[in-house]
Chains A and B, each alone.
Chain A
Amino acid sequence: MLEVRNLTKKFEKFSLDNISFKLEPGYIMGFIGPNGAGKSTTIKLIMNLLKKDSGEIKVFGMDNVKYEKEIKQRIGFVYEEPYYYENLTLRQMKNIIAPFYTEWDDKQFTKYIGDFGLDLDKKIKELSKGMKTKFSLALALSHNADLIIMDEPTSGLDPVFRREILDILYNIIQDEKKSIFFSTHITTDLEKIADYITFIDKGKIVFSKSIDEVFDSYRVVKGGNDLLDWHIRQEFIGLRTTKVGFEGLTDNPEKFQKILGDQIIVERASLEDIMFYTIRG
């Protein structure tokens, strides 16, 4: 469905360094990382909005530059910042976008517009951020796309609407031919729906694994500060100490249990823990 291999893009102050990952049909991949990690750059490269320096991007098995038009027919996109003509009404904007898609489904679009409570005669500039995202989503889901690419779609939205989006995505993925590539830094959203997680930091892939593998790999270890010595500290991926004790991330909990026994508590790590401790160190 989507394969990125050894992708590189250099800017003056930032570079995307040799990144690779693969998304199979029927799955949702969460693309996580802090702000400025390279998530939007990667998505822009996939959409051929930026010119890559080297590497390969294949969508539906086709090169994303050579078969740009064919590929984009089958992609639904939702960006964090909706790039619409603000003076147009939703109806006018839809009338501009719809003719480009051979499989545009007006019935489906009208259904989403109704479900999302949008008014087609309202100007885009009159919509709130959440409403604009809903409109983007309605457009992305109305041309029978096989791959939905979303760049921070839930950022700045209230929890109720974020939950609604996740439900919609969950329903889409019931069709096993469709996939979703979803970048976000709100990791709790992904824990609910993602099958795979790709973690990017400072332009480099930290890991790209199934969510089960991610949760099996990492643990949060908690204990008293008196247990920490130089050697123990070195064993953590990331460590945080407070007056009451320490909390650290590890991918080798057995080692801690062997050394510290029942003086520590070992807990399941959330995606946020993994992201936080990996970045902070």
Chain B
Amino acid sequence: MFKLIRKDLLLALSNKFYLISTLLFAPLLLFFMDFQVNEKIIVIIIYGMSFFLLSLSFYYVDKLKPEVLIQSLPIRKREIVLSKYMLVFLCYLIGVIYVSILFKVAEFLGYSITANLNISIIKITLPLVIIHQSIILPISFGISDRLANSIGTGLLVFINNFYLMHDFERTSRMLLNSSNRFSVALIVILIFVLSIIVSITIYKNKDLP
């Protein structure tokens, strides 16, 4: 399974234009905000970074359908699916680390960052990223990467506009409220597991073109 993750990371690194665009997303956003960032902006950055990083490796849209090649290698279909779900956490982690480094660099350059990357931000962004990928991964395995990527982008714009930009207080309250904490965690885990089961079932029965 780690070989598959390695493969996805290699693919991500090979797509230089998209990689640079992804890496530029956070600094450009910070620049346009004049480095006046609050928790809301950090959440948007981490959520966006995770999605773009995952898109790099997940949605390698190619005319020649390399899925045939991957499925011809000595790997079980279940492993192919599970590796993608593991990559969600890895890309999230890379996104968080990248943003932390970026903030340190900005501070070093004399910009004052007004908000901190703290545990509350993790508690908001991790469920968002998990649910987001839990929705689009079965589409990617069942229908096409291209469609999954389009739906993923639409979902990112929708959540950013309606839940983060305009209603951040309510969204963060709902995710951070101690009385909700257990049920939120349970729902997120349930959606994630259900998504894995659906993806494995679809992928095992899928005919390649």
Instruction: Identify the A interface with B (CB < 8 A).
Output: 44, 47-51, 68-73, 75, 77, 79, 81-88, 92, 95-97, 99-101
Separation of A216 and B62 alpha carbons in the complex (Å): 48
The contact of A77 among B10, B62, B72, B205, by CB within 8 Å, is B72
* A84 and B64 form a contact (CB under 8 A): yes
CB distance from A125 to the nearest CB of B (A): 10
The CB with the most chain B CB atoms within 10 A, among A68, A70, A101, is that of: A68
* A72 and B69 form a contact (CB under 8 A): no
On chain B, the residues within 8 Å of A48 by CB distance are 71
The answer to whether B7 has its CB under 8 Å from any CB of chain A is yes
On chain B, the residues within 8 Å of A99 by CB distance are 3, 6
The contact of B10 among A73, A86, A92, A100, by CB within 8 Å, is A92
Contacts A49-B208, A87-B14 hold; do A82 and B64 have CB atoms under 8 A apart? yes
On chain B, the residues within 8 Å of A73 by CB distance are 74
* A69 and B208 form a contact (CB under 8 A): no
The answer to whether B11 has its CB under 8 Å from any CB of chain A is yes
Separation of A101 and B75 alpha carbons in the complex (Å): 10
The contact of A97 among B14, B60, B73, by CB within 8 Å, is B73
On chain A, the residues within 8 Å of B72 by CB distance are 47, 49, 72, 75, 77, 79
CB distance from A88 to the nearest CB of B (A): 5
CB distance from B16 to the nearest CB of A (A): 9
* B75 and A69 form a contact (CB under 8 A): yes
Q: Name the interface residues of B1-50: CB closer than 8 Å to any CB of A.
A: 3, 6-7, 10-11, 14-15
Interface size class of B (residues with CB under 8 A): 20 to 34
CB distance from A150 to the nearest CB of B (A): 12
Separation of A264 and B204 alpha carbons in the complex (Å): 57
Separation of A82 and B72 alpha carbons in the complex (Å): 12
Contacts A50-B208, A69-B74, A100-B74 hold; do A84 and B10 have CB atoms under 8 A apart? no
Q: List 9 A-B contacts (CB under 8 A).
A: A69-B74, A72-B72, A72-B73, A72-B75, A73-B74, A82-B64, A82-B69, A86-B63, A87-B14
The CB with the most chain A CB atoms within 10 A, among B3, B73, B75, is that of: B73
Compute the total of residue contacts between A and B using a CB distance below 8 Å.
73
On chain A, the residues within 8 Å of B14 by CB distance are 85, 87-88, 92
On chain A, the residues within 8 Å of B65 by CB distance are 83
Separation of A79 and B68 alpha carbons in the complex (Å): 10
13 new A-B contacts, CB < 8 A, other than A70-B74, A82-B69, A99-B6, are A44-B208, A49-B208, A72-B73, A83-B64, A83-B65, A83-B66, A84-B69, A85-B62, A86-B63, A87-B15, A88-B10, A96-B10, A97-B69
Separation of A47 and B67 alpha carbons in the complex (Å): 13
On chain A, the residues within 8 Å of B205 by CB distance are 51
User: What are the 8 A-B residue pairs with the smallest beta carbon separation, nearest first?
Assistant: A72-B74, A83-B69, A83-B68, A73-B74, A49-B208, A100-B73, A50-B207, A99-B3
Contacts A51-B207, A101-B74 hold; do A83 and B11 have CB atoms under 8 A apart? no
On chain B, the residues within 8 Å of A84 by CB distance are 64, 66, 69
On chain A, the residues within 8 Å of B3 by CB distance are 99-100
The answer to whether B170 has its CB under 8 Å from any CB of chain A is no
CB distance from B189 to the nearest CB of A (A): 28
* B76 and A68 form a contact (CB under 8 A): yes
CB distance from B63 to the nearest CB of A (A): 8
Separation of A257 and B205 alpha carbons in the complex (Å): 55
On chain A, the residues within 8 Å of B66 by CB distance are 83-85
On chain A, the residues within 8 Å of B204 by CB distance are 51
Closest to B206 in A: A51
* A85 and B75 form a contact (CB under 8 A): no
Closest to B207 in A: A50
**0/1 per residue, B182-209, Cβ < 8 Å to A?**
0000000000000000000000111110
The CB with the most chain B CB atoms within 10 A, among A72, A84, A85, A97, is that of: A85
On chain B, the residues within 8 Å of A81 by CB distance are 64
Separation of A49 and B68 alpha carbons in the complex (Å): 7
Separation of A99 and B5 alpha carbons in the complex (Å): 12
Separation of A82 and B15 alpha carbons in the complex (Å): 20
On chain A, the residues within 8 Å of B76 by CB distance are 68-69
